[in-house]
Structure 1
Amino acid sequence: MLKILKTRINQGYKTYNFPKKLPAMADFFKGLPQINSDNCGSCTLCIEECPVSAIEKLDGTISIDIGKCIFCNKCADICPENSIVFTKEFSLSTTEREKLLTNNVETFIKEREFKAEELGLFKKSFNIRVVSAGGCGACEADINVLNTLTFDLSRFGIHYVASPRHADGMIITGPVTKNMELAVKKVYQAIPSPKVVIAVGACAISGGLYADSCENYNGISDLIPVDLFIPGCPPNPYTILDGLLRLIGKIKS
């Protein structure tokens, strides 16, 4: 026992000091896309290459819907002018679905809004019921990892709970299959008001790779109102944590 205690003391403090200290993202991490409109030519190679139809050309300007984007980097790889770059910006969440259509990092960060004053009652205690609605399990893995020593989600007063009757809100992952429709609606109805709905991952926001399938909806917005969108495929744990903290006002926009 003494040996275990000594080893633990020597290890020191392992929880990362987020949000006071921002993490250094890995080299392979693909964050918020930046499009250089000045370099962008008249070709549509990126639009044709995108497997989830996340890229649009509006008034001659390319924009990426990060609510659909799976961050595969195919558009950046195929662009002959190198106009598309995936940055290391991990803060991707927003409370408005339309704000996920973007082509500029600075504009995206500046224009999104978090009405934290409306959720002030959750600032000290925020209990969440997680519902996997037909996804692959990747988003769930990054949600669960927030309970580990590195992130220590509970230090912010945020906890995952087993019963929706004990929850303040719900996290939805997956494209919401028809078989999960009733379960999702029952969980939503069982959560006491006021309640919060958080869509995590491209599938939950837009259907992702499963969009327009006859076996599922194109995201949870087809069934119930959503208060927070956290894009990614899957979202990085820091992206999820950043979104949750901004929603309840622990990180100021």
Structure 2
Amino acid sequence: MARLWRKIKKTGRVAEPAPPKSSSAVKVGELVGSVQLRHVDAGSCNGCEVEIASAFGPVYDAERYGARLVASPRHADALVVTGPVTRNMEVALRRTFEAVPEPRLVVALGDCARNCGVFAGAYGVAGAVGDVVPVDVEVPGCPPRPEEIVAALRDLTGR
């Protein structure tokens, strides 16, 4: 302890300075440590929501890999979007995407989010998530299993 105290008194700092911030956008796998997620239901049947709840439940516990659900897009690093984007949710999804601070990622969770699934061509559907906002990660399945959701989130956090 005395040696550490001498170092502090001598240099005025304990650790090295932080590396300079990169101006480039975050790529998948570069979010080392943790990622804060905001979930957006753009018009799903709620099958994916049940699996998200299981992925964050005590059995699969996605939080141990650094993924955490947050209540506000302003606190999020990424959006998890489920369901095809309905006409009623198109503007809301764009506004939520714009509210997430940059650099931001979008995860299209489930077949409906990826390509509209069984709702393709329906009157009330504006399109897939990728038609409204740029998508970085896609998780296939109808609905995707909790293991697949956790694996995708682990790819985001690098853990």
Q: TM-score range with shorter-chain normalisation?
A: 0.7 to 0.9
The aligned counterpart of 2:47 is 138
Q: What is aligned with 1:123?
A: 32
Aligned equivalents of 2:120 and 2:109: distance in 1? 15
For the Cα contact (< 8 Å) 2:107–2:137, is it kept in 1?
A: yes
- Number of residue pairs the alignment of both structures matches: 134
Residue 119 of structure 1: how far off its partner (Å): 4.4
Secondary structure at the aligned position of 1:246 is classed as helix
Q: Which ranges of structure 1 fall in alignment gaps of 5 or more residues?
A: 1-116
In the TM superposition, residue 121 of structure 1 has moved relative to its aligned partner by 5.2
Instruction: Please give the alpha-carbon distance, in whole angstroms, between the structure 1 residues aligned to 2:38 and 2:86.
Output: 18
Q: For 2:86 and 2:27, locate their aligned partners in 1 and report how far apart those are by CA, in whole Å.
A: 31
1:201: Cα distance to partner?
0.5
Instruction: Tell me the CA shift for residue 243 of structure 1.
Output: 1.3
Letter in 1 for 2:82: T
Select the residue among 153, 157, 166 that pairs with 2:62: 153
- 1:118 is paired with a residue of what secondary structure? coil
> Relative CO higher for 1 or 2, CA cutoff 8 Å, sep ≥ 6?
2
Give, in whole Å, the separation in 1 of the partners of 2:145 and 2:55.
10
In 1, distance between residues paired with 2:62 and 2:27? 22
Counterpart-to-counterpart distance in 2, 1:121 and 1:165: 20
Q: What is the deviation of 1:247?
A: 3.1
- Is the contact made by 2:38 and 2:80 (CA closer than 8 Å) also made in structure 1? yes
CA offsets per residue over residues 98-132 of structure 1, 9 Å max, x none? Answer: xxxxxxxxxxxxxxxxxxx8345522120000000
Q: Which residue of 2 aligns with 1:184?
A: 93
Distance 1:143 1:124, change over 3 A: same
Is the counterpart of residue 215 in structure 1 residue 124 in structure 2?
Answer: yes
**2:85 partner SS:** coil
How large is the RMSD of aligned CA atoms in angstroms?
1.4
Structure 2 contact 84–115 (Cα < 8 Å) conserved: yes
- Over 3 Å counting, the alpha-carbon distance change for 1:120 and 1:237 in structure 2 is closer
Match of residue 172, structure 1, among 81, 94, 118: 81
After superposition, residues 183-202 of structure 1 pair within 5 angstroms as 183-202=92-111
Q: What corresponds to 2:150 in structure 1?
A: 241
Q: 133, 137, 149: which one pairs with 1:228?
A: 137
> Which residue pairs with 1:93 in the alignment?
none
Identity %: 40
With the length of structure 2 as denominator, give the TM-score of the two structures. 0.80
Provide TM-score, normalisation by structure 1: 0.51
